[in-house]
Amino acid sequence: MSDTKKRTELHELGRYRLLERLSEGLDPCNRTTAMGLGHDASAMAPTKRRVVMASGLMLEGIHFNLTYFPLKHLGYKSLIAQLGRIYAMNAEPQQAQVALGVSGRFGVEELEELVGGVRLAASRYGVDLVGLDVSSSYTGLTVGVGAQGQCDARELVGRSGAREHQLLCVTGALGAAYMGQQLLERERRVFEANPYAQPQLEGHSYLLERILKPELRGCVAVLAELRQRGLRPTAMTLVNEGLASALLHICQRSGVGCRVYADRIPVDAHAAALAEELRIDPLTAAMNGGEDYELLFSVPVKAHQEVASVEGVSVVGHLTDAGAGAYMVPPHGDELRITAQGWNAIVPGGAD
């Protein structure tokens, strides 16, 4: 007997039966979800709290390569990326919507894998999937995700509240996702040159998980601990395109400068080991890599001792007058101007 799985072509079900199949069993778990899937649009129960929304696209060949990216992991990560933005506003995510652009390369079962990853992430983070759509595409797989959350008005945090002399803090460790990407790209090039070559991925499961299936639980735990201690960040942003970009976002929106100390930046140990092997500066991976999905936030100086004692938080620098600019201070030598050298999603000459 053949072990080949049956492939159901998309046209066999049609758009509406496909959507019914992909959304089967998705029932709301949040009181703010008045109507979810199965209607012309979703409906939210009005409250006096602030509503926070985020959305983003993941495009095949730009954000992911299906040569090594499992569809279930892709679905999981696509939602995590938007939930991270909600948490970065100090809000709790509650609803999400997904829109897919797919070609005839994919069957129903493959879309079930993709949506299954979204559903798993939604379940783990207590989010209702309230919108789901599928359309034909001639340009590869497109995954569009929107997320919505809420918070009390006085708890809302953006990028614009940082002030001179306040402290800059980072959650978790940085650089692991970037180095996981470098590893996968290395193996892809080897495979293209020699399809019979065996992948050399042993001992790097953590790095692969950070790029293929990232989590936000560290961020969630830190935010909960800050609330418990009565500490509200004055500004906050998601570290998803490298620490350098995140620092410049806060500096620009708040009208301040910064000094970040190189020896205080929490570079992931697994990332540092592989970076040494591949002759990449580990600090470059942390500053200019991406997709770490950690948080950068500022707090008043008086909170230094308390915030430094929160597990998973590193105090990496402080804010200055805008005229002083944004610089990284190495252990020895001159200060280095911070520039956003992270990955750019806008590709010159891309398809119309």
Per-residue pLDDT, averaged over 9-15, amounts to 73
Give the model's pLDDT for residue 341: 59
Give the model's pLDDT for residue 85: 94
Q: How many residues does the chain have?
A: 352
> 301 exposed, middle or buried (CB, 10 Å; 0-12, 13-18, 19+)?
exposed
- Domains in the chain with CATH codes: 10-155 (3.30.1330.10), 167-337 (3.90.650.10)
Give the model's pLDDT for residue 48: 76
Give the model's pLDDT for residue 348: 42
Q: Which two tokens stand for residue 56?
A: 């983003």
pLDDT tier for residue 344 given thresholds of 50, 70 and 90: very low
pTM of structure? 0.87
CB atoms within 10 A of CB 323: 7
pLDDT tier for residue 347 given thresholds of 50, 70 and 90: very low
The pLDDT of residue 1 is above 70: no
Per-residue pLDDT, averaged over 155-168, amounts to 95
Give the model's pLDDT for residue 349: 45
Say how far apart CA 39 and CA 35 lie, in whole Å. Answer: 7
In order, the DSSP letters of 166-208 are -EEEEES-BSHHHHHHHHHHHHHHHHHH-TTPPP--TT-HHHH
Give the model's pLDDT for residue 7: 83
SS3 123: helix
Per-residue pLDDT, averaged over 14-41, amounts to 69
Q: Which two tokens stand for residue 199?
A: 């992948």
Give the model's pLDDT for residue 122: 97
Q: Which two tokens stand for residue 158?
A: 């953006």
Predicted confidence (pLDDT) per residue in 213-230, tens digit: 999 999 999 999 999 999
Percent of the chain with pLDDT over 70: 91
Predicted confidence (pLDDT) per residue in 92-140, tens digit: 999 999 999 999 899 999 999 999 999 999 999 999 999 999 999 988 8
pLDDT tier for residue 41 given thresholds of 50, 70 and 90: very low
pLDDT tier for residue 346 given thresholds of 50, 70 and 90: very low
CB atoms within 10 A of CB 84: 25
φ/ψ (deg, to 5) at 24 = -60, 130
The pLDDT of residue 267 is above 50: yes
Give the model's pLDDT for residue 78: 98
